Amino acid sequence: MAVIHRTTLKPGKTELLADWLPGRPWYRGGPDAPVLEKSGGFRLDDPEGEVGIEFMVVTDTSGPGRTAYLAPLTYRGAPLEGAEHALVGTTEHGVLGTRWVYDGCHDPVLVAELLALIEGRAQAMAQSVTDTPDHEVTRSYDGAPLVPDGFRPEPSEDEDGTRLPVPGGLTLHVHRVLTPVAGNAPLPPRDALGHVATGWPDPDGTRPHAVFMTLRAL
């Protein structure tokens, strides 16, 4: 169970992401740094209790429109070996000390738990409340088990987001730029074999929803 500490984080998550996002191929902003607000998301629990796992929605408000990005993040108490290229930054946690923050698509702990969520073996948890399920998160999948022991992700990125090859001839597409829709959770595309979707609050009082990930055949 992940414990949510009410404490300081310096620099904050949106500060780290504001520096990191412009270097991504799927970033939609201009040459200036984005102006980010934390909009929503959810967490997953690491069964070993060592790695923080968060799927964070941040909204860039610097342009005439609002662009919502999905940032899967992991928080570790020590560097992840071989993942220097995936480091978003380091931050000082008021309780836990130095935390190494990674793009979670490169972290085997996040990927394993995300696939467990899609399969229905893991429960989405509230982003900011300890030991509280997030029942708004929807998922689907009806197929063979997705992750053998020792699986290490090898993601690739382009302007459409991040793609993760999954054992069994499948690809998990992480939608980095979210497409919000009004109303209840949207249905996945017809060719999707599995998906994850949820919503987040908007300043105008509505609650947009979007598909966060889709699982497809290669």
Q: Which pLDDT tens digit goes with each residue over 30-82?
A: 878 899 999 999 999 999 999 999 999 999 999 888 999 999 999 999 999 99
Of 24, 129, 121, the closest CA to residue 71 belongs to 24
* pLDDT exceeds 90 at position 214: yes
| Distance, CA of 46 to CA of 109 (rounded, Å) | 7
Sign for the CA dihedral angle at 7, 44, 102, 19 comes to negative
Residue corresponding to tokens 């509280």: 132
Residue holding tokens 């020590």? 78
Q: What is the pLDDT of residue 28?
A: 94
Interval 159-168: pLDDT, tens: 999 999 998 8
Centre a 10 Å sphere on the Cβ of residue 123 and count the other Cβ atoms it contains.
14
